[in-house]
Structure formats: C-alpha cells, structure tokens
Amino acid sequence: MALIKSVRGFTPEFGKNIYLAETATIIGEVIMGDHCSVWFNAVVRGDVNWIHIGNKVNIQDGAIIHCTYQKAPTTIGNNVSIGHNAIVHGCTLEDNVLVGMGAIVMDNVVVKKNSLIAAGAVVLENTTVESGTIYAGVPAKRVKEIGQEHFEQINMRIANNYMMYAEWFR
C-alpha cells in the first residue's frame, strides 16, 4: 500500500478510481481528482504548501511533485502526464500538458494548455510556456509549435494509456 501521510493537520484527499503504487508517497495538503495514478517511487509532497491535481493525471515512476513554503503551491490540471523522474516544483501545469522524463519545472512557471516539456528540459523560474508549444533544453526554450494532431498523438495518448495501465495493477 502507498504511504499516505498527514502533516501539519492536512491529510491527502483522493477522487474516484485512483491507482497508487505500493511505493508511491503522498503527503499533506494534496487534493487529487478522479482517474489519477501515482506510480512506483513517485512522491507528491504537500508538506510546505498545497498541491491540487485535476482529473486523469499520471505521475510516473520516480517523479517528484513539491512546492515552496509560503511562496509557490503546485497546481496540475486535467489530462496531464508527468514523466519518469521529472520534478514539478511550485508551478502551474494547465490541462493537457506532458512533462517529459527527467524534466524539471521550477517555481512560478506556468505551462499553458496543450504543451509539451521535452525530456531533460529545465524550465527556469517565472517562465510562461505558451499554449501549443514544445519547450526543450537547459534552460528550456520554445523550439516549435505543435498542432492538434501532434497533441492528440502524444499528450492524449499517454494520458489515456496510463489509465489503462492503472487498470492492470488494480
């Protein structure tokens, strides 16, 4: 069973049809919507600020979701995929976003809907990622726009696949 821990009087809250891997850790002021999954060794740590997660979000193996005390909470929209070993810290990810494997998204970043953060990218503090774009590199920069077809083939496919994978483990 996943480690679910209260801290400072806050206990994580979960929607319907959630999958939490046995080694996932969810702590503190975390509110998670429906049809979400938190995979092996992933940490969602709402101890120093709040974390709000929408519906149909997958937080893949080894990913870390955290925030900054009294400064930067974390908000994650609907249909979001957070890749293996990614770090999402004190930022906002709008709907239909993909954060690639090993990417880092830092405090006060806003990733607008239908966007992709490439694997290994580092999105620096206070950056706004425009809707329908790919950001890549260190530091991350806009590398191109993505059309609806690309978005459906990548972002939505991954979000839907992780709902299916979660069913395998229930």
> What is the distance of C-alpha 78 from the center of its chain?
10
Q: CA 111 to CA 14: how far, in whole Å?
A: 24
State residue 27 phi and psi, 5-degree precision: -130, 135
Q: CA 115 to CA 138: how far, in whole Å?
A: 17
Q: Could you list the residue range(s) of the whole structural domain that residue 143 is in?
A: 3-169
pTM of the predicted structure, to 2 decimals: 0.96
Cis before 12 (ω within 30) = no
Count of Cβ atoms closer than 10 Å to residue 43 Cβ: 18
Decide: 21 and 1 in contact? Cβ < 8 Å. Answer: no
Q: CA 163 to CA 106: how far, in whole Å?
A: 27
Domain count, the chain: 1
N-to-C CA span, the chain: 12
Q: Which amino acid is at 16?
A: K
What tens digit of pLDDT does each residue of 133-157 get? 999 999 999 999 988 777 778 888 9
pLDDT score recorded for residue 153: 80
* pLDDT averages per 10-residue partition of the chain, 170 residues: 96 98 98 98 98 98 97 97 98 97 98 97 98 97 88 86 94
What tens digit of pLDDT does each residue of 61-86 get? 999 999 999 999 999 999 999 999 99
Decide: 76 and 99 in contact? Cβ < 8 Å. Answer: no
Paired tokens of 100: 């690639």
Q: Which CATH number belongs to the domain containing residue 124 in this structure?
A: 2.160.10.10
pLDDT score recorded for residue 95: 96
